[in-house]
Structure formats: structure tokens, C-alpha cells
Amino acid sequence: MFFQQLVNGLAVGGIYALIAIGYTMVYGILFFVNFAHGDIYMLGTYCAFFIFGFMGIEVTGGVINVPQFFAALIPSMLICGVMGIALEKFAYRPIRNGSRLSAMISALGASLFLCNTAMYLFGSQTKPMPKLFAGEYITIGNTIISYIQLAVLVVSILLMLALHFFIKHTKLGKAIRAVSDDQRAAVLMGIDMNRVISATFAIGSALAGAAGIMVGIYYGAVYPTMGAVAGIKAFTAAILGGIGNIPGAMLGGVLLGIIESLGGAYISFGYRDAIAFFVLIIALCLMPTGILRKGRT
Amino acid sequence: MCKMKYGRLILAILVFVMAGSAVSMEAADTIKIGWYGPVSGAAAQDGQEGRNGAEVAAEIINASGGINGKKLELVFADDKSDPKEGANIATMFVSDKDIIGVAGPFNSSVILAAAPIYNRGKLANVGWGVTSPVITTAGEYIYRVAATDALEGDFMSKWILDEGFKKVAIIYENTDYGVGVRDVAREAIKKYGGEVVTEAAYVQGQTKDFGSIIASVKQAAPDAVMCGSIYNEAALVIAQARDLGFEAPFFGTDGFFSAGLLELGGAAVEGARCCSVFYHEVSSPKVKEFIAAYEKKTGKTPGTWAALSYDSVMVFAEAIKKSGATTREEVKKGLDDLGSWEGATGVQEFDENGDVNKQLVKLIVKDGKFAIYQK
């Protein structure tokens, strides 16, 4: 049972980690929490829902294969990336030099706008999503690992590795790190701030979109308010890992997923969310800046 | 220029006042009943279905000459399954003096938040989806046409034991409805000679990952699972259980009985069993009248919630017709003295607590549809 819960926690944690990255990257550069991030994640799921529709896949009880999964994943990530850039352009850029409070209020407004627009356009009911691998699983001892859990884990890890490579080894990645370290010095060195911010939003949003699609397929459901809870959890994960720190967000996400699963199983499922937040409070009391502090790398 | 503006303003106020008096004059010829339910949010499918049922009731009543010669007018409100909204709506309905009765809502938690306000405002509220046993004692102005979970939980527990399943797990949503089902099933399963091997709760409308719950339920190796869930979560619980190789049969109350369960669950919900007060192949003329009107309006077959919401409006029409009530307190008295009457969910009668007694039907998902269960 312990290993079973660990596997479940890892799969959920991988998804939290992907969403948390977007929160942490934006915070690292602009020092505010992008509350609309969870809604971008929701829109990512809807993108995939409609792409599957275009491909003629039955959503109720439909099954997709790996190429079809990627055929939906990649365009959805691109669309989410573009939406992230647009979000920043319309909701945050005009007030970038205002107080941080204005940015936060604008973020809340953008979140409500996106969520309600989705309700209006797509309807507020929960809609089904097709399945990947039709419920197949492998058994190791007593532990069952479904293919979809494996797929979620593998795709999350691949995306995080790609992000790590991008941040460490490309020019734009270096620019993002520089701005995050010291904005004024970075601008004095000739780094185009707008470009860096757009890139940050695009990457964070694309990863959230990817998380959205995987969640949609994993749970078999998509609905307009799905961003709210996932957003809070991922934000918690980002704080747990040390907000502003990308590896911290990954670690925080995975940890939060595991804590939730194990806490639920060994204490009480009714208190699953409470346990996760309790751990967050304890962690912050002991390590006020999160597990990994924002490093000057 | 400035004078012109004031002139227009005064004119506008005059028109407004006149329009207002015209409306209140008209109000004397209509009977206003409030209706509330979750038209958006986690239970939106059920809420929308309920709203359609209520609209059909108003159309049938008005097409046959209204209530005592007056037209029935429904005032709709959306509670989003949120108890806070329920309390706001109750305040709104109570403060509208023309409203003499209220039908709704769907969620037990919502009516429990609203009940004190209706009791204070002496406005009768007939719940259509609310099934928690706690509502029995929610106050003298609170009625319902839905069967209580006490009735359904007991009925389902007996069915589970009759099928020979001795070890039962309970999965329930952490709401008044879910906890109500759990409490009843816990007692009833013991009473009929079974054993509850494990229990697990989740947060309705938030929890979508049931992997860890399934893993721990599976560990307890139950013969069957009893759910205190509505279709949205029920479909996910069952589908995720099958994904993790957990094959025990699932039983639920009328929360399962919705097209949403079939749509969201697909092949996984095949064999899921539940009960209901309404089934669309029952041959009573009252049921047929409702189904024909509902199908004409929406093009869909009605489910339990449409039928119950229809009855929650119809019961006001019956009570007002019979008693000639015109005030809130007369309407309440009319409901108390109504006695036995027949609606879309069968012959029924309020007891002294405002609960209702009616027959339950055993249903099973077969070939992607709900069908009457046959052993």
C-alpha cells in the first residue's frame, strides 16, 4: 500500500510541479503571483478536448494512442504559450510600473475573466475526455502502476529536463536567469526586458497547458473551474519549494503530491487537503524561504 | 442644457414609477413561486435538468388555466451548489413580498444554510434534490419531495446484502448528503448482517484524483462499494477504480441516476447499481404527461431531478388549488393539509416533518443505459 500511494503521489506531484513552475518563474521576475495561471491550465485542457474532437475521437469511452496524444499536446502547449504572452500584454504590461497590489488585482480579474468566459463558451458542466491506453496497467508486487500514470510521470520529467536545459544552456535562458537575479543590472547589460517577460509567460503557460491535458486524460474530465484548486495546490508547491526557484517548484510539487497521498491514506482522506497545507505551514515555520532558497546561480 | 437634463431625469423617474405600479398591479393576477438550484458549478447538469423540469411544470399549469385562475410565475436563481449563495437567495426571496412559496434546491448543504432564513420569513420551501436525513429537523417551513438518504441508504444496504456481498466499503463526499449516506449505510449494513471494512471521504467539486482512495479501499478487499456520491465524482471514482484493476461492484443512491454518469464514465460504469424514485418507463398517466411535455421542450428524456423539481412546483399548485391560499402562511397550511397526491415521482404524502414517503425503483447500468434491475 505504501508503494501504491507513492506511485499515485508521484503522478499527481509531477502535475503540480509543471504548474508550479509557471508561478515560480513569473514571481522570480515580476514579484507577483499570476493568479490567472490556473485558468491557462484549464484552457490547455479545453484545447486538447477540441483537438480530439477535430480528430474525430469519441470523447465518451474513446481511446487515443501515443501519436494522437502528442498531436494534441504540442498544439495545445503552443496555444497556451501564446495565451500566456497575450495575458501578460493585456493584463500586466500596462500596469507593470504600478504597485504590486494593482498587478495582483489585475491577475484576479484576469482569472475570473478567463474562467467565466470558458463557462460561457463551453458550458459549465463537466465534459468527458478520451483515455490513453484504455486502462491498462502493470503490476509490480502488490503495486499497480497504470500506463497513464507512467505517461504522466515520463512526460513531466521530460518537460522539466527540457526546461532545465533551456534555462541553463540557451541565451534566452541565461537572460531569464539574469533578470531574475538582478533586474536593473540585467537591463543595463542590454537585456530586452519585454522579451524576457514574454518568454517567461510563454514557457510557464505552455507547461501549465501540458499539465492540463495530462490531468484531463488522467481523470477523464474537463470543466471550467478546474484551474482554481489546481492553481492553489501548485502555488503551495511553489512556496514549499521556495518561490522564485525553478528546481524548488519541481521539488515542491512532487513533495506535495506524495504528502497528500500518504497523508490521506494513513491519516484520513477527508483531511487530505488540510494535511497538505498543515505540512506547508510547518515547513515555512522551519524554513521561511522554502526548501530551496532562490539561488544566485 | 442643464434644465433639459433635469427634465429628462424627471420624465425617466415618472416612467419608471408608472412601470413599477403597472408591474405591481399585474402581480395581483399572478402567483409567484421562487425556484433555486445549481444551474452552474459542480452539479450544473442536475441543476439545469431541475430547472427544465420546473419550467415544464409552470407551462403545464398555465396551459390548463393556471392556479385558481391566476398565472403561475417562477422566479429563478442559481445557487452554484454553494451554501453561501443559498443563504443569499433565501434572503432575496423572503424580502420579495409577492413570493409565497419556494421550490429548491438540489444540494442538502444549500438548504441547510437557507432553512433558518425561510423559517424566520415564514416562507415554505419544498426541496427537490435534498436528501440528507438532517433536513428532517430543519424547521417547520422546510419540506421536500426527494426521498431521504435514510430511506435510500437503508434500501441500498439491504440490496447489497441480498446480493450476498458481506464486506462493504463506503466512499462518500464530505457534504451533508455524503455524510448522511455514510451514517445510514454504516448502521444498515451492520443491521442486515454485513461489515463495513473501510470508509473514505473526498471533497465534492474539488477532488478529482481518487487513485489514493482506491488503493486503500482495494487494500481492505471489500465485496462491494457503497457510494455517497453524485454522478460527477461517481463516474471518476468508478473509472479510476477500473484503471487500477479494482473490479468490485459499485452501489449508489439516486445521486448516480443521471445521464452525466453514463457520459463521463463510459464503459467503466457498466454494472453500477442505484435506486430512484423516478424511472421514465413507469406507465402512470401523470408520469406520461410530464415526460411528453419535457421531451417536447428539451428533446431529452427526463431524469430523477427533472421529475422531482417538476413535483416541487406541482405540489405548490396542488396545495394552493386545494386550499385557496393567498398568503405565505396559508400556503404552508395548504402543504400541511394536502394529504396524498400524485406527481411525476409517484403517489406521495408529506409526513409531520415535511419529509415524503414514496416507492423506490432498483436500477442498473446495462449496455450504456439505466435499466430496471432484474436478478
Contact list in B for residue A272 (CB cut-off 8 A) is: 202-203, 207, 212
- For chain A, what is the domain count? 1
Q: What is the pLDDT of residue B12?
A: 57
CATH of the domain at A173: 1.10.3470
Q: How many CA atoms lie within 13 A of B349 on its CB side?
A: 6
* pLDDT score of B111 more than 90: yes
Same-domain check for residues B183 and B201: yes
- Spatial separation of the C-alpha atoms in residues B266 and B279, rounded to whole Å: 21
- B373 located within any domain: no
CA angle (B363, B57, B344) in 5-degree steps: 30
- Spatial separation of the C-alpha atoms in residues B322 and B214, rounded to whole Å: 52
Q: What is the pLDDT of residue B83?
A: 94
* pLDDT score of B282 more than 80: no
By C-alpha distance, the chain A residue nearest B40 is A124
Selecting from A119, A123, A135 the residue whose C-beta is nearest the C-beta of B242 gives: A135
Sign of the C-alpha dihedral computed for residues B296, B79, A105 and A284 taken in this order? negative
The one-character DSSP state at B298 is: H
* pLDDT score of B21 more than 60: no
Given an 8 Å threshold on Cβ–Cβ distance, is B40 in contact with A11? no
Q: How many CA atoms lie within 13 A of B222 on its CB side?
A: 30
Identify any residues that bridge with B366 across adjacent strands, giving them in sequence order: B369
Mean pLDDT by runs of 10 across the 297 residues of chain A is 86 92 88 90 93 84 84 93 94 88 91 92 85 79 84 90 92 91 89 91 94 89 88 90 88 92 84 84 85 61
Given an 8 Å threshold on Cβ–Cβ distance, is B211 in contact with A119? no
- A293 located within any domain: no
Same-domain check for residues B253 and B336: no
Mean pLDDT for B208-213 is 86
Distance of CA B15 to the CA centre of its chain: 41
Length of chain A (residues): 297
Q: What is the pLDDT of residue A146?
A: 84
Given an 8 Å threshold on Cβ–Cβ distance, is B242 in contact with A8? no
- A294 located within any domain: no
CA of A86 vs chain B CAs: smallest distance (Å): 27
Given an 8 Å threshold on Cβ–Cβ distance, is B40 in contact with A215? no
- A77 located within any domain: yes
CA of A260 vs chain B CAs: smallest distance (Å): 9
* pLDDT score of B285 more than 80: yes
Same-domain check for residues B184 and B290: no
Q: Which of B237, B259, B276 is the last residue of a domain?
A: B276
Q: Which of B242, B276, B310 is the last residue of a domain?
A: B276
Mean pLDDT for B141-154 is 90
Same-domain check for residues B110 and B202: no
- Spatial separation of the C-alpha atoms in residues B164 and B281, rounded to whole Å: 28
- For chain B, what is the domain count? 2
- A297 located within any domain: no
Average pLDDT, chain B: 88
Q: What is the pLDDT of residue B22?
A: 45
Q: A143-160 burial by CB neighbour count: b if 16+ within 10 A, else e?
A: bbbbbbbbbbbebbeebb
Same-domain check for residues B110 and B129: yes
- For the record, the C-alpha cell of B218 comes out as 482495494
Domain that holds residue A263: 2-286
For the stretch B249-278, pLDDT in tens is 999 988 898 888 998 888 889 999 999 888
- A218 located within any domain: yes
Selecting from A8, A125, A229 the residue whose C-beta is nearest the C-beta of B212 gives: A8
Q: Which of B252, B276, B300 is the last residue of a domain?
A: B276
Q: What is the pLDDT of residue B76?
A: 96
CA of A224 vs chain B CAs: smallest distance (Å): 9
By C-alpha distance, the chain A residue nearest B243 is A135
CATH of the domain at B95: 3.40.50.2300
Q: What is the pLDDT of residue A131?
A: 82
- Spatial separation of the C-alpha atoms in residues B109 and A261, rounded to whole Å: 27
- B6 located within any domain: no
- Spatial separation of the C-alpha atoms in residues B172 and B182, rounded to whole Å: 7
Candidates A269, A271, A273, A275: best to mutate against B (most CBs of B within 10 A) is A269
ipTM metric: 0.77
pLDDT band (50, 70, 90) for residue B15: low
Domain that holds residue B268: 150-276
Q: What is the pLDDT of residue A53?
A: 87
By C-alpha distance, the chain A residue nearest B80 is A124
Same-domain check for residues B62 and B36: yes
- Is B5 or B370 the better-scoring residue by pLDDT? B370
